[in-house]
Chains A and B, each alone.
Chain A
């Protein structure tokens, strides 16, 4: 029997922690198409993702889950639609300590929702940082409906990433129940 591939997408603004998220859970070293940041303005970290991050979790002999991290910078957003095709669901990561990126996070969320009507969760990343916003405040700032799952996360911590992915999978099941 042929191996079946399924995919989920991890998206969010620049530097939200997408690469870290995929890296934490992937069984392979994340095949990242990073490149060193050239412009001064974005010199807050060493590398940014330009095409996608590519992580893998082997489920069993004939099922593989791929995790794709999108590039966070809009100038690479031609990749988004391609990545969105056929995904089971998606995670929107937000850096909870950077309110200046919340608007962009919401806009990315809307863009992905328009690409595909799949379930999604929003993940409040970097909750370990002292100035991370509370979930309740973040929900208001991002204007998220109560029905949208907003989950705390520390992308560098595997257990935390597991929880987010599981919640997304539960959301997919719940949505199927709803449709019955």
Chain B
């Protein structure tokens, strides 16, 4: 099975795999960006997405469970003995629990598949014969739930596009936000956006400085607005009226007022 995501969307593929309980690996290439998703009996068992290759060390370092240096050392070990063996070793030494590993892998898989769901182009091949190596730690995930989650996220993104139709507006702190910003539990991205909230910065400019996509900046701004922290502020392209034009407009509005008062 092969094609392009332009014609067959990520959600459609996931649905198909889930319904027909397929096993195999889906490889996607989107202009050099690569994703690989492996399935067993219609369940997602492994995802590698660009640099997040899905290996135990990369997943744990992404989750902040181990440092980069530790990850480098452990990756060498895993190269020889495999992820499963490394996982067991870490559990035995008391570095981490089994549940920590499962949760970290799950989170990685969900984040990656959510990212993949937004790809709107790219060649894909589904190879039923290709299975992932025995040495990998497998956490099977139900696709039905994932598809529902994706649909939810996409719905939310659509709503955000309606709420924030233009990125060429500025942000300001809500007047009434008596909230102590320092005490808030914000994500890293939310903090970085907060730092750019100034009357002269448009959302588009902030996104560019932080290298965020339109969708991602909308999500961040959306949640900051939801929390009542920031508001959108129109960049008023002030009509430059001459003194006479202004007098004229005032007189016109005055006539409208007088007439409507007397209807």
> Is B163 within 8 A of A158, CB to CB?
no
Which of B20-28, B140-148, B164-172 has 4 or more CB atoms under 8 Å from chain A?
B164-172
Within 8 Å by CB of B252, from A6, A103, A165, A170, lies A6
Within 8 Å CB of B225, what residues of A?
143
> Is B234 within 8 A of A162, CB to CB?
no
Within 8 Å CB of A117, what residues of B?
234-239
Within 8 Å CB of A158, what residues of B?
263
B238: nearest residue on chain A (CB-CB)? A179
A163: nearest residue on chain B (CB-CB)? B260
B232 within 8 A of A: yes
B246 within 8 A of A: yes
Q: A113-B234, A173-B250 are in contact. Are A65 and B256 (CB under 8 A)?
A: yes
Within 8 Å CB of A111, what residues of B?
162, 165
> Is B260 within 8 A of A106, CB to CB?
no
- How distant is the Cα of A167 from the Cα of B168 in the complex, in angstroms? 28
Within 8 Å CB of B175, what residues of A?
145-146
> Is B163 within 8 A of A106, CB to CB?
yes
> Is B162 within 8 A of A107, CB to CB?
yes
B249 within 8 A of A: yes
Instruction: Tell me the chain A residues, 1-49 only, with Cβ under 8 Å from chain B.
Output: 4, 6, 25
- How distant is the Cα of A24 from the Cα of B13 in the complex, in angstroms? 54
Q: What 0/1 readout, one digit per residue, does chain B (92-115) give for beta carbons within 8 Å of chain A?
A: 000000000000000000000000
Within 8 Å CB of B254, what residues of A?
173
> Is B260 within 8 A of A162, CB to CB?
yes
B53 within 8 A of A: no
Within 8 Å CB of B157, what residues of A?
none
Most buried by A among B166, B235, B239, B260: B260
Q: What 0/1 readout, one digit per residue, does chain A (96-131) give for beta carbons within 8 Å of chain B?
A: 000000010011001101100100000000000000
A79 within 8 A of B: no
Q: What 0/1 readout, one digit per residue, does chain B (145-184) give for beta carbons within 8 Å of chain A?
A: 0000000000000010011111011000011100000000
Interface residues in B, total, Cβ within 8 A: 35
- How distant is the Cα of A107 from the Cα of B162 in the complex, in angstroms? 6
> Is B261 within 8 A of A166, CB to CB?
yes
Instruction: Tell me the chain B residues, 204-263 only, with Cβ under 8 Å from chain A.
Output: 225, 228, 231-232, 234-239, 241, 246, 249-250, 252-257, 259-261, 263
Q: What 0/1 readout, one digit per residue, does chain A (116-160) give for beta carbons within 8 Å of chain B?
A: 010000000000000000000000000101100000000000100
- How distant is the Cα of A63 from the Cα of B176 in the complex, in angstroms? 42
Within 8 Å CB of A166, what residues of B?
257, 260-261
> Is B165 within 8 A of A114, CB to CB?
yes
A180: nearest residue on chain B (CB-CB)? B246
B167: nearest residue on chain A (CB-CB)? A114
Within 8 Å CB of A106, what residues of B?
163
- Give me 18 A-to-B residue pairs in the complex whose CB atoms sit less than 8 angstroms apart, sorted by A's number: A6-B252, A57-B263, A59-B255, A103-B159, A114-B169, A117-B235, A143-B228, A145-B231, A158-B263, A162-B260, A165-B260, A166-B260, A169-B253, A169-B260, A172-B253, A173-B250, A173-B254, A176-B249
